[in-house]
Amino acid sequence: MDHLQTFKNKEKFATMKILILNGPNLNLLGTREPDIYGSETFESFFGQLCSAYPQISLEYFQSNHEGELIDKLHEVGFSFDGVVLNAGAYTHTSIALADAVSAIKAPVVEVHISNVHKREPFRHHSYLSAACVGSIVGLGLDGYRLAVEWLLRR
Ligand code: CA2
């Protein structure tokens, strides 16, 4: 029975596809403002994440353009098993991104590296939170890993 369960888990993980989607300016991670965002590049972190989860298919996409983020959500939203979304500053401005998250079938977990609630008031509101299954804020890059872990176990 144990063996069967392990086999079933492997089967499930083998087919799992998760997208990590980063918005504007997050391509600068590791190069500027290390006090807020840390000193690791996302590429380096993503390499470690892929090594930690060899049994699933992880894809990473970053764009500074709102429409490209929406297009990517449409592209994967009916075939992937989940999306981890850090929409950067579009979090606080974009009804269009919130509509895209609501429109797709894949569950979307919102992640913010910094604790937005400890920062300027304009960062306290997210248009995305209500459309997402949940949010992780202020835990640094580990928030992405925790979001992936949750998507795997749901
Ligand atoms: O804490 C987060 O993850 C944010 O989504 C980051 C956004 C900010 O607008 C949100 O309020 C919270 C900003 C991303 C900018 O990333 C940079 C990284 C390194 C250097 C400069 C900017």
Task: Looking at the chain, list the stretches that DSSP marks H as alpha helix, in order from N- to C-terminal side.
Answer: 2-14, 34-37, 42-52, 66-76, 95-103, 142-153
CATH number, domain with residue 126: 3.40.50.9100
Q: Is the pLDDT of residue 13 over 60?
A: no
Kindly calculate the radius of gyration of the chain based on its CA atoms and give it in whole angstroms. Answer: 16
Summarised one tens digit per residue, pLDDT across range 20-32 is 999 999 999 999 8
Q: Report the domain count for the chain.
A: 1
Q: Ligand 1 center to residue 26 CA distance, Å?
A: 6
Is residue 145 in contact with ligand 1, taking CB distance under 6 Å?
Answer: no
Residues 110-119, mean pLDDT to the nearest whole number? 98
DSSP state of 87: -
Q: pLDDT class for 11, splitting at 50, 70, 90?
A: low
* Whether the CB of 114 sits within 6 Å of ligand 1: yes
Inform me whether the pLDDT recorded for 113 exceeds 60. yes
pTM to 2 decimals? Answer: 0.92
pLDDT in tens, 65-104: 999 999 999 999 999 999 999 999 999 999 999 999 999 9
Contact 118, 138 (CB under 8 A): yes
Helix (H, G, I), strand (E, B), or coil: what is residue 62?
A: strand
Q: Count the neighbouring beta carbons within 10 Å of the beta carbon of residue 129.
A: 14
Parent domain of 87 = 2-153
pLDDT at 1 over 50: no
Residue that has been written with the tokens 């290390």 in this structure: 34
Half-sphere exposure of 49 (CA within 13 A, CB side): 25
Place of tokens 């009916």: 78
The residue-averaged pLDDT of 31-60 equals 95
